[in-house]
Structure 1
Amino acid sequence: MGEGEGRTGDAVRSAVAVLTGAGWHPSRDAGSEALMAILETVSTVGTRAGVRWELFPAAERALRAFHGLETVACGAGVEVAVRGISIDPREGRHASQTFHDFGARIGCRTFPLGIHGEESLLAVDEQSRLFMVNHGGWWYLGDSVLAGLAVLIEGRRPKRVREDGSWEPMEVTQGHGSGAGTEAEAQVRDVFG
């Protein structure tokens, strides 16, 4: 178990290094740039059924903290390939029907956060959880944007979201209750607050 714990700790430290290198820090506020990107996104109406975007507090907080960050890492990860990340809600603004349908599946609204690689859109929900959608379906990344970004940066395997809106929980550290989240998420919170 010591080897796995070390790997997770290294993974989190690496995610911290990548995010910090991209310009993120705990008190970061992208300010007017984030707000302009949000306005452009919410003013876009989906082509099917005219579904409009609805901004909610968790999405605004995530975008104010992370908007404009880009990582360019590419290659092998801990479990799956690592791709670049770009945090900009405009990347997913034309997928409002897809996001709306997914929100109905999980019982909470979603809002676009950015893109992973060239084909996967990122979404944050009202509970600040991070998800990804691509040709393979919807994927759960983490109970927070930070934890989800750590999963992507380190190339850990996300959990597939089932048709009923559920997914397998991420691995929980021994000794923690079921609501404690992953060890990686706890370490990211320790580092970032």
Structure 2
Amino acid sequence: MSDRFPEAVALALTATGWQPGIHIPEEELLRWYRALGTAGIEVPPSAIKALWEFGGMTVHQYGPGTDMSRMPFRIDPLVGLYAGDVLAAYGAALGRPLTPVGEYDLGRGRLAMDPRGAVYLWWGDLWHVADTFDGALIALIEGRRPTRLNLTPAREPLPPKPIDEREARDKARRHVVGGGPHAPVDFVMTEFEYGWLVQPIFADPDPMANVGAGQWIIDRRNGRVSLWPSLPTENILALFRERHVDA
């Protein structure tokens, strides 16, 4: 492992529970793949490989780094789903699609990969972190400053075809249910003027066991699926209208 990562980086990774040769369950990887696909996001082999080995890992860190502060980050593609439109717009400007792979700085930024394996950080602007996922882990853990890209996000048109409730329910079932012992077993759909709010139902009746699971909105105008935090319904719908209707 020392040949692959510097000693301090290797220690930070093993502190998360990661070990060489250990992978996340295939069911979890498949659930992520389906969820991204339902949202219209491509998942290239480079992202699948990274998620299979490092998915679910959270690096808790603060303090000075090589040339910037070290910030916590998590490898989980679903936390970046709601930023899918932004990443798609930057990917169009970059000339390569971007796949969300995690979050940075307690959700203030999103990590993404391109088909070549390069890692980027959307943190107000788009930044290039490293050309490989291993290189990105090293840069993030050592606190190395990424390179800001002078890009203007493209304005991509929304798919024009609206969907009905049957199609929305099919998307919800493929997106939410299944994928491991802790995944939702069912869902509840609540219709509003721009689509449906989808809230997961878990086998564990204890609500505290599923804090942070999130909920989804399916846009009836174009079929897009976005992931939202576990906030009260009225707050989520207000945020959706602000970002996707009034903007």
Give the TM-score, by structure 2 length: 0.56
Contact 1:38/1:89 (<8 A) preserved: no
Partner of 1:59: 47
1:131 to 87, 95, 120: 120
TM-fit CA distance, 1:164: 7.9
Partner of 1:121: 110
Which string of whole-angstrom CA distances, capped at 9 and with x for unpartnered residues, describes residues 141-184 of structure 1? 1111111111111111111112289xxxxxxxxxxxxxxxxxxx
Question: Structure 1 residue 29 and structure 2 residue 18: aligned?
Answer: no
Q: In structure 1, list runs of 5 or more residues that go unmatched.
A: 1-8, 45-51, 166-193
| Structure index of larger Rg | 2
Q: How many residues align?
A: 148
Whole-angstrom CA distance in 1 between matches of 2:87 and 2:20: 28
Q: Between the two structures, name the one with larger relative contact order (CA 8 Å, sep ≥ 6).
A: 1
Whole-angstrom CA distance in 2 between matches of 1:80 and 1:35: 35
1 or 2, which has the higher helix percentage? 1
RMSD over equivalenced CA pairs, Å: 2.1
Which string of whole-angstrom CA distances, capped at 9 and with x for unpartnered residues, describes residues 96-123 of structure 1? 2211122122221210010111201000
Moved over 4 A (4+): none
Partner of 1:40: 35
Contact 1:114/1:121 (<8 A) preserved: yes
SS in structure 1 of the partner of residue 82 of structure 2: coil
Which string of whole-angstrom CA distances, capped at 9 and with x for unpartnered residues, describes residues 60-98 of structure 1? 111111101011111221211111111100111012221
SS in structure 2 of the partner of residue 20 of structure 1: helix
SS in structure 1 of the partner of residue 42 of structure 2: coil
For 2:7, the aligned partner's letter is: R
TM-fit CA distance, 1:139: 0.8
Whole-angstrom CA distance in 2 between matches of 1:35 and 1:134: 28
Give the TM-score, by structure 1 length: 0.70
Contact 1:82/1:155 (<8 A) preserved: yes
Q: In structure 2, list runs of 5 or more residues that go unmatched.
A: 154-247
For 1:71, the aligned partner's letter is: V
Question: Structure 1 residue 141 and structure 2 residue 136: aligned?
Answer: no
1 or 2, which has the higher strand percentage? 2
Give me the identity figure in percent. 27
For 2:59, the aligned partner's letter is: T
Contact 2:36/2:42 (<8 A) preserved: no
SS in structure 1 of the partner of residue 86 of structure 2: helix
TM-fit CA distance, 1:35: 2.4
For 1:17, the aligned partner's letter is: L
